[in-house]
Structure 1
Amino acid sequence: MILRRLARPMLAAIFISGGVNALRAPEAHAEAAKPFLHDAMGKVGDKLPEQVPTDPTTLVKIDGMVKVGAGLALAFGRFPRLAALLLSGSLVPTTLAAHRFWEEKEPERRQEQQIHFVKNVGLLGGLMLAAADTAGKPSLGWRARRAGHVLGEHAHEFGEWAQDTTHTVGAAPKKAKKALRSVLPG
């Protein structure tokens, strides 16, 4: 649909741009993230495995790579639902780290940060819609429920058929394949 082809790149653009900026100047972004990371590491730092980086600059670089990679995937429609989930997972800590308006003392600065915070909440809403968008195809949950229902109907028929001793054993796989074909797409 044309709407998806236009909307996904538009939504992805801010993440790609932000990711590139974070990769170009990770130190500046890391400085802004330090208070949030200090709070977060104070709560869970001792429970993290040694392999998980805790250095702010490294975390900003990883976040930047996720934003660029997932942003490009979303823009080009490659695994858009997964890309939207990855961007959502990146957006929440970024928002909490960079737009802590509740800590600002100056009214102008507080309002500026609050606007950015609310903007990011709006972006998160767009990402949630993108993550839930099945492009007109039934969801996995619907497919699973439908498969269970259809297989249940065929199981009853198959049971009656199996009780009839006039059928050969070799015909059973054909009957089962026919039942599965009616459930599975393609």
Structure 2
Amino acid sequence: MILRRLARPMLASIFIYGGVNALRQAEGHAEVAKPLLDKTAGRQQLPEAVPTDPVTLVRADAVVKIVAGTAFAFGKLPRLSALALLGSLVPTTAAAHPFWEAKDPGERQQQLTHFLKNAGLAGGLLIAAADTEGKPSLGWRARRAAKKASEKVAKASEKVSGN
């Protein structure tokens, strides 16, 4: 549908741009993310293979945004890529736009505006993640397949017991 072909690249563009920008300025983005990482560091036990360095995390997040954003823009695995973008958006929003911590009313308003913009993007991604493009959902297909299999088993058992 033409709507999806237009809307997906439009929605993806901010993520691709943000990912490229984060790769170019990883250290600056890491400084923004560091306070959130410091707050959550002691709360969770992560495997040693998971990086905790802010610069590495910013770069990994940037790659997710670029790859998932590009895939989403081109309609490749759109539901999965929308979920990946949503997973990237939540910590980015919490780290970059903590309006609740701002003391200055002007700064608070600016951060709240960006926070709400990201909430709107999250809403768009949620809709995209649920969009089956008019096809039945996986849940519906699984229930239908189970019902058909059950009917076949019932018919087969009738034949066996009737003979």
Counterpart residue number, 1:179: none
1:42 offset after TM fit, Å? Answer: 2.3
**Residues 48-107 of structure 1: CA distance to partner in whole angstroms, max 9, x if unpaired?**
111111110110000000000000000000111110010010000000000001111111
- Counterpart of 2:153 (choices 152, 155, 163) is 155
Q: Please give the residue correspondences for 1:101-116 in structure 2 after superposition, counting only pairs within 5 Å.
A: 101-116=99-114
Out of 123, 126, 138, the residue aligned to residue 125 of structure 1 is 123
- In 2: Cα distance, 1:131 partner to 1:93 partner: 18
CA distance, structure 2, for counterparts of residue 140 and residue 97 of structure 1: 34
Provide the identity percentage: 63
Residue identity opposite 2:139 in structure 1: G
Distance 1:164 1:112 in 2: 75
Question: How far apart, CA to CA, are the structure 2 residues paired with 1:85 and 1:94?
Answer: 14
Q: Distance in 2 between matches of 1:113 and 1:128?
A: 22
Task: Show the counterpart of 1:139.
Answer: 137
Residue in 1 aligned with 2:27? 27
Unpaired runs of 5+ in structure 2?
A: none
Equivalences for residues 89-100 of structure 1 within 5 A: 89-100=87-98
3-state secondary structure, aligned to 2:132: coil
Which protein shows a greater Rg?
1
The answer for the alignment partner of 2:73 in structure 1 is 75
AA partner of residue 33 (structure 2): A
Shift, 1:163, TM fit = 3.4
Q: How many residues align?
A: 163
Unaligned runs of 5+ in 1: 166-186
Find the aligned partners of 1:157 and 1:56 in 2 and give their Cα distance.
60
Amino acid at match of 1:10: M
CA RMSD of aligned residues (A): 1.0
CA distances 1:94-142 after superposition (whole Å, capped 9, x unpaired): 0000000111111111100000000000100000011111111111110
Deviates more, 1:151-160 or 1:51-60: 151-160
3-state SS, counterpart of residue 105 of structure 1? coil
Q: Look up the match of 2:12.
A: 12
Q: Partners of 1:142 and 1:135 in 2: how far apart?
A: 14
Question: Matches of 2:31 and 2:19 in 1, distance apart?
Answer: 16
What TM-score comes out, normalization by structure 1 length?
Answer: 0.85
